[in-house]
Structure 1
């Protein structure tokens, strides 16, 4: 989402979406509706180019190499949370494990401050009975992203294009059988592995036979939701940040109107910086304000940082004279959302009727989210995670995708995703949780019905982790 749709994409070695029962719509492939997506094998060791200075007069930015390593790296670094309209946000929260959680020590010790205002929680429960039948297959791919046979893969011939740098991926193909009370789209979900990049869309495009891997296996097994996930927690999760319209605790709303209303800066070289957002989400403000109960229009954006202000060098380099705040860091954390994305057909501008919610490495907006590529770490793969993204105007299918250097040459064109989709909540609201689990290198995105209380019990979190759905294995 760093450069909206034009650069938030990658080419991939994937299941044949045609054989998986997927359909093309608006230039993108979609497979089955899902209530959960699990990213596995997240995190690797690598590096990116971090900004070390920005000259407002010349427009020159200098960078230096930063190395990282970890079970969810670089997405375990501090993240900012971004929203694009048409969108209405009803709840947002961040949780960290208490001392008793099996996921490890709490990554952020900031405690939530008492809210001065509360609003009635929203409940939108629906019962869906789904049977999951999984088909697995191991696929071998060479360094050109071309499928090879297992016998060829076992040959060791350095320098031979047919066998050089062979990777092995296990695909899980989930066939969804809804009950009569549920009406998700039929078809077969696709697990995808990305190995390179293209500009355009984060959905796979038809490719030549040399870059498409078809899933074919006679190995079938019925799997319950509880048996498809190895993730679990013990102990409560404590809420550190929370928002409801008109009330924000330990979280700060910002947008890109710097220099216009008493916070942030503007220059001819870099344009507007980030600044405090007013309660309407789209105007600038001189101090932090809680977002109101507003629906922002197409193309309008705001973002959320934690309530902890940067001090000294603890946030790294950031643009001078901006309100600089920490993001949400750590490899064990939970984000929760309640939102709606109504249709917006009134205009026809850029990103018309294409709402989205996504994470960025918090260094990106603190330097330059939109502009020269050398003035942020985005292009070199410091991390973006699209949670719920509409890829074409008026679509009702929300796609999720990771963009970082994993599985590529160390740029933002790596990562992975799935062509299964969440149904866009155009009327009513959708509740969702995003669970970062460093212990098994997974990130879960799940639709939920539970209330977002000050603490989440291990039973509640485990029920979210055990939801089965689409899978996306990063290389």
Structure 2
């Protein structure tokens, strides 16, 4: 039986979740749970806002500067490139990531767009008339190839001054020049629109990993163990940067290394990125810590991730704040590329966005929840939970589809290069629609 629940985060400064359901079970840490589910959808993951994008870091002194970065549209800041993170105890068996391309069809031209002209000497030359307010402009995300449309706002009535054309997300756009001491910089807004008709297009597998076969394609494993002379860096002021992860996932490696078929212990974590290395700092990946290992993440408003994993109990691991508390989550890639666990002035979090898709909240906990973190108005949570796979592995899909985040435990999946569309259909066909707020989650 399908049901819909409201899971609004409290508006208090403490961030306490107010679920308002007397039937909930509460653990000793104050976390609420209701029913075990096989899938859920967080709807209307979208909106407008700003977050503090890092535009300068000095690893030696710890001094950093930030500038407002705007976002608007489906997935909010999570339309930027994101990275996947796994905290132990966990054993990743297989992984795949798919991104969508729109169907190839002839596009109608705007009345403000002249046809492409080709000169006899072979050079192609495009002439564009000045775009008008409300024109739809199409752009392609570097790295992922995802295609977006946004609305041109320059010249719109009521505008105080001409507005620059919306840019690609900060993770894939060059960093702007440093702002002068005065006045404060204006936030730049990336605005996207998309629709479910992309499902009729092509879903391509852009990353794959198989632990048993020791095979990977299109992905790189990193962790926060940067060490000078190995990979990444460490300073007293900022601590460890990102580094290539060793085969056990727990140490730095000199170069891109495949993850072994192993269980990482409590507290340890690694992240999954594209194997595409970022260009010069401030370029295609935006700004990143100067001494870090910098790779592209996975961008776009339509992207799907499939994990096969176990999360065994490890009571023997050293006691600590995350002892026997495994998790899977996604971050805006700008966060770990600057300072995931560093000073607040040196990272864009939480406004840059975070999606917890399979997270335990207490030591030894068998229930995993899902939540969205970001600015006020870009937050959501759910009291229903997934069962933690302590013995046999499960296959779990996280599908970012326009303004929805679909999460589902799959009965089976072959992880093949052409398996994306069927998996997407399977996940979407069992979701509940009709929610009207980012804080509403549908479960089934």
Q: Which residue of 2 aligns with 1:234?
A: 200
Give per-residue Cα distances to partners, 1:46-91, cap 9 Å, x unaligned: 1110111112232111111111112111111110111110000011
Confirm whether residue 34 of structure 1 aligns to residue 54 of structure 2.
Answer: no
Confirm whether residue 467 of structure 1 aligns to residue 430 of structure 2.
Answer: yes
Confirm whether residue 455 of structure 1 aligns to residue 418 of structure 2.
Answer: yes
Q: Aligned to 2:425, what secondary structure does the other structure show?
A: helix
Give per-residue Cα distances to partners, 1:19-50, cap 9 Å, x unaligned: xx211123211000111110111111111101
Q: Structure 2: how far apart are the matches of 1:106 and 1:234?
A: 18
Confirm whether residue 17 of structure 1 aligns to residue 3 of structure 2.
Answer: no
1:90-101 map, 5 Å? 90-100=93-103
Q: Structure 1: how far apart are the matches of 2:55 and 2:94?
A: 35
Contact 2:143 2:296 in 1 (8 A): no
Contact 2:84 2:273 in 1 (8 A): yes
Equivalent in 307, 310, 322 of residue 292 of structure 2: 322
CA deviation after TM superposition for structure 1 residue 304, in Å: 1.0
Q: Which residue of 2 aligns with 1:337?
A: 307
CA deviation after TM superposition for structure 1 residue 349, in Å: 2.2
Confirm whether residue 285 of structure 1 aligns to residue 256 of structure 2.
Answer: no
Q: Structure 1: how far apart are the matches of 2:264 and 2:314?
A: 10
Q: Aligned to 1:295, what secondary structure does the other structure show?
A: coil
Give per-residue Cα distances to partners, 1:300-357, cap 9 Å, x unaligned: 1111111111113111111112221111100011111111000010032231100001
Contact 1:101 1:234 in 2 (8 A): no
Q: Structure 2: how far apart are the matches of 1:89 and 1:60?
A: 37
Confirm whether residue 247 of structure 1 aligns to residue 250 of structure 2.
Answer: no
Change (3 A) 1:231 1:405: farther
Contact 2:241 2:293 in 1 (8 A): no
Contact 2:103 2:198 in 1 (8 A): no
1:25-174 map, 5 Å? 25-27=27-29, 28-100=31-103
Contact 2:36 2:386 in 1 (8 A): yes
Change (3 A) 1:315 1:106: closer
Which shows bigger deviation, 427-436 or 52-61?
A: 52-61
Q: Which residue of 1 aligns with 2:239?
A: 271
Which shows bigger deviation, 234-243 or 61-70?
A: 234-243
Confirm whether residue 364 of structure 1 aligns to residue 366 of structure 2.
Answer: no
After TM superposition, the score normalised by the length of structure 2 is 0.71
Q: Structure 1: how far apart are the matches of 2:58 and 2:72?
A: 30
1:174-193 map, 5 Å? none
The structure 1 segments of at least 4 consecutive aligned residues displaced by more than 6 Å after TM superposition are 469-472
Which shows bigger deviation, 312-321 or 79-88?
A: 312-321
Q: Structure 1: how far apart are the matches of 2:303 and 2:209?
A: 17
Q: Aligned to 2:244, what secondary structure does the other structure show?
A: strand
Change (3 A) 1:270 1:450: same
Change (3 A) 1:260 1:55: closer
Confirm whether residue 352 of structure 1 aligns to residue 323 of structure 2.
Answer: yes
Contact 1:97 1:237 in 2 (8 A): yes
Q: Structure 1: how far apart are the matches of 2:380 and 2:104?
A: 28
Q: Structure 1: how far apart are the matches of 2:226 and 2:333?
A: 17
- The alignment of Structure 1 onto Structure 2 pairs a total of residues equal to 336
Q: Aligned to 1:44, what secondary structure does the other structure show?
A: strand
Equivalent in 384, 390, 393 of residue 426 of structure 1: 390
Q: Which residue of 2 aligns with 1:378?
A: 349
CA deviation after TM superposition for structure 1 residue 466, in Å: 1.7
Give per-residue Cα distances to partners, 1:105-162, cap 9 Å, x unaligned: 9856659xxxxxxxxxxxxxxxxxxxxxxxxxxxxxxxxxxxxxxxxxxxxxxxxxxx
